[in-house]
Chains A and B, each alone.
Chain A
Amino acid sequence: MRNVSPVLMVVAVLLALWYLAVPVMNIKETVTQLERGGAQVVPASAQERRGAGHFGLVAKNTFAIPATFVQDRPRLPAPHQVGAELWDGVVGKKITSKRSLVYHGSITLSATLLGFAIGAGLGILLAVGIVHSRVMDKSVMPWAIVSQTIPIIALAPMIVVVLYSAGLQGLFPKAVISAYLSFFPVVVGMVKGLRSPDAAQLDLLKTYNASTAQGFWKLRLPASMPYLFASLKIAIAAAMVGAIVGELPVQGGGLGNRMLTGSYYGQTIQIWSALFAAAILAASLVALISVIQRGTLKRMGLS
């Protein structure tokens, strides 16, 4: 309970700010709509309203405030509208429906998980190489850093096109984009973890005349576990971003696709609900890794 109440507090403050922002953001369209319906609004002419400030309009048309929360295509949907759409999208639709968030979420999830698996595996392998080979240390690390300076939004369509010409489409190109984003934190964290044993611990193994492989399995790898899990948490969230970005240029469904179609048709509520679905999914994945982390470190006697 002690851990939950600060979180609830922050959520409550954010919700309050959000609700306060809704009338201000939506007042112009709402007033225009009400005027067309025959209501008396201030100022009466559309031309005058165009130049008027949002706050002033809200102050002069307080009667219009309730209507700002129930717009069909609001500039800023109210939290309950997003909540309702989210609920409807998750439980109100058949999961095979193209309007089901479960359907789209599962497409994004599969790309995320495949990309994460590829990225984490690649990251661990690269880290092992970097720690054991001077050549790899000098050559791989700079490129790994450079790779992350290229905006993924520019790179994603190219990856999709290149893989398409190689006959690969659907899940795999999205997973590649997702892996591209997720391998990096794993490399950095794992290199740090594998190098975490101090000089005395390495000397101790040397006094036993231990092989490099024994040093890896018995000292470096176990010592790196806390670092690995910390970077896996970052990596899975990055993998999700990668999967969503990968869905933008292709027409195969997914939460990224849902956001893009929402923006084509001005369906702000749809965009926001897809956004929240993605955030909730990412948070659950990070939480899942936390649980695995706690279990593993506890079994290792490290927590």
Chain B
Amino acid sequence: MAAPDLPVISASGLDLTFQTGDGPVHALKDVALDIHKGDFVSFIGPSGCGKTTFLRCIAGLEQPTGGTLSVNDMTPDAARCARAYGYVFQAAGLYPWRTIARNITLPLEIMGYAKAEQSARVERVLELVELAGFGAKYPWQLSGGMQQRASIARALAFDADILLMDEPFGALDEIVRDHLNEQLLALWARTQKTICFVTHSIPEAVYLSTKIVVMSPRPGRISDVIESTLPKTRPLDIRDSPEFIEIAHRVRDGLRAGHADDA
């Protein structure tokens, strides 16, 4: 267990260049960032700024070509093998041939949890994402928002302290998204997890995060890191407060600056 002042995720001088048919693509350049236990960190920026790539590096799904990156004091690959994080993709990606409950047991089966333990955990996480009673349904019987909640439950089912979320609500409409944002904050407060959250939406980033990382493209790099001054408990109408609007402004300025040296 890391001490509160030691970062859970730490990157410095991180570089990643993809070799493509059209020549090398510089996806990440000199990225340095510390994420502490219990942080809610949002990554925001235009397409191609490397926010998803950075998340995938943390997950050990991409290999950086330079710099250092540690997760729980391990290499990302070792952390992946130690099942240090749960990953939520943009698409819920539930198996259509499994019920919601059996979808949530999938990681538990793979990790070899006992049968009784599996069903106890399924009950608990279904409760957490407010899907209790939907375990026996098939994915197609649920709405898009409920499917995404089920996929979050699947990522919570095993004991990972880190939750990596790649635009999980990107495909949902605004009303559902507001509701899920509220639920996600409640869930974060209850579980004390460290969350890395990739998004396109400024209000979503400001509303959710304790730390907002603004990124800019070509090459993908961090252009601003904003520590949120908002209180931990956040009702939805906090978005009308001057404080909220000020942070949103700063995010927008950061995004614009990233685009300015692009032109």
Contact = CB atoms under 8 A, between A and B. Distances in A.
Answer yes or no: do A and B interact: yes
Interface of A: 200-201, 203-210, 214, 218-219, 222-223, 225, 300-302
Contact of A208 (B93, B99, B107): B107
Contacts of A207: 59, 61, 80, 85-87
A206 B87 CA distance: 10
A284 B80 CA distance: 51
A49 to B, nearest CB: 68
Contacts of A218: 106, 109-110
A201 B97 contact: no
A222 B95 contact: yes
Given A218-B110, A301-B99, A301-B138, A208 B61 contact: no
Contacts of B106: 208, 218
A301 B85 contact: no
A225 B96 CA distance: 12
Chain A facing B: main interface SS: helix
A204 B87 contact: yes
Contacts of B97: 222-223, 225, 300-302
Interface in B94-151: 95-99, 106-107, 109-111, 138
A300 B86 CA distance: 26
A203 B61 contact: yes
Contacts of A205: 110
Contact of A209 (B81, B93, B138): B81
Given A219-B95, A222-B97, A302-B96, A210 B89 contact: no
A200 B89 CA distance: 7
Contacts, number: 49
B32 interface: no
Given A222-B97, A302-B96, A302-B97, A210 B91 contact: no
30 contacts: A200-B89, A200-B90, A200-B91, A200-B93, A201-B93, A203-B87, A204-B93, A205-B110, A206-B80, A207-B80, A207-B85, A207-B86, A208-B83, A208-B106, A208-B107, A208-B111, A209-B80, A209-B81, A209-B83, A209-B110, A210-B110, A218-B106, A218-B109, A223-B95, A225-B97, A300-B97, A301-B96, A301-B99, A301-B138, A302-B97
B80 A301 contact: no
A119 B101 CA distance: 37
B89 A204 contact: yes
Contacts of B109: 218
Nearest to B89: A200
Contacts of A302: 96-97
Closest 6 CB pairs of A and B: A300-B97, A207-B87, A301-B138, A210-B110, A208-B110, A200-B89
Given A207-B87, A218-B106, A301-B98, 5 more contacts: A200-B90, A203-B61, A206-B61, A207-B85, A225-B97
Most chain A C-beta atoms within 10 Å of own C-beta, residue among B89, B97, B107, B109: B97
Contacts of A208: 83, 106-107, 110-111
A169 to B, nearest CB: 44
Contacts of B107: 208
Contacts of A301: 96-99, 138
B80 A203 contact: no
A188 B140 CA distance: 28
Contacts of A206: 60-61, 80
A219 B99 CA distance: 14
A80 B89 CA distance: 63
A206 B60 CA distance: 9
Most chain B C-beta atoms within 10 Å of own C-beta, residue among A203, A208, A214, A300: A208
Contact of B110 (A200, A201, A203, A214): A214
Contacts of B91: 200
Contacts of A222: 95, 97
Nearest to A214: B110
A209 B86 CA distance: 11
A198 B59 CA distance: 18
A263 B81 CA distance: 69
